[in-house]
A = this chain, B = another copy of it.
Amino acid sequence: MVIRENFEKNLEELKRKIGEMSELSITALEKAFKALKTQDIEIALKVIEGDNAIDNLELEINQFAIWLMAKEAPVSRDLREIIGAIKISSEIERVADFAVNIAKATIKIGTAKSLLEITNLEKMKELAIEMLQKAVQSFTEENIALAKEVGELEDEVDRYNGETYKTITNYLSEHPEEMNQLLQLLFVNRHLERTADHITNIAESTAYLIKGQIYDFNS
């Protein structure tokens, strides 16, 4: 029983680290978006610098997971949970990478008059954060209903993504002089759509480790 208790404690610790990594990534995404909105290069640079801390946390999670497997030689669901933690941490790392991409776009846009308001990017960012919170919660609390909700939110992001593509390209036809900024906003649009995809992968991994069965919430 003591062995089991120790294992449970270590698994809780692993989940706590995943939660922490998710919080850091959400903060990075919020900051990057604030930089984009207020055209604040200083904040954008801080987001880029801060990505190291998230990469290090991913590494720590991986090493902790490997140590836990070597120590406990877990089977079935326990093993799936640890593998799940490794896969989920790599998806969260990608969400943080997208924050870096948004920060880089902010720098490339510079001081040109912001056209952010013609897009749905802010709504998409809000949805992406809601998705990540639900996906990670579904993992830490082993709640499959939450994982399913993530798939539904992704459909909303996809819809906004399509609309934003049209809006930006129409605007570009009429204002070719704004090309630099509009291309950067198009990239951000695509990043947010990809971010939603990665978060859906987290939800699918979670559903898999809870049920031991494959889900595809993208389709």
A166 vs chain B, min Cβ distance (A): 11
Cross-interface CB contact of A173 among B70, B179, B190, cutoff 8 Å: B179
Q: Which of B73, B79, B172 makes the CB contact (< 8 A) with A179?
A: B172
Instruction: Known contacts A90-B87, A90-B90; decide if A79 and B70 are in contact (CB<8 Å).
Output: yes
- 1/0 per residue A158-193: CB within 8 Å of B? 000000000001001100100110010011001000
Chain B residues with Cβ under 8 A from A62's Cβ? Answer: 83
For A69-89 the 0/1 string (1 means CB < 8 A from B) is 110011110011001001100
CA distance A107 to B83 in the complex (A): 37
Inter-chain CA distance A183–B180, complex, in Å, is 12
**Contact among B74, B176, B183 for A176, CB-based, below 8 A:** B176
With an 8 Å Cβ cutoff, the count of chain A residues facing the other chain is 26
Q: How far is the CB of A24 from chain B (nearest CB, A)?
A: 19
Residues of B close to A74: CB separation below 8 A: 70
CB-based contact B76/A70 at 8 Å: yes
- Cα of A183 to Cα of B179 in the assembled complex, Å: 11
Residues on B with beta carbons closer than 8 Å to the beta carbon of A79: 66, 69-70
A-side interface residues toward B, CB under 8 Å?
A: 59, 62, 66, 69-70, 73-76, 79-80, 83, 86-87, 90, 169, 172-173, 176, 179-180, 183, 186-187, 190, 214
Can you spell out 20 A-B residue pairs with CB atoms less than 8 angstroms apart?
A59-B214, A66-B79, A66-B80, A66-B83, A69-B69, A69-B79, A70-B73, A70-B74, A70-B75, A70-B76, A70-B79, A86-B86, A90-B90, A169-B180, A169-B183, A172-B176, A172-B179, A173-B176, A173-B179, A187-B190
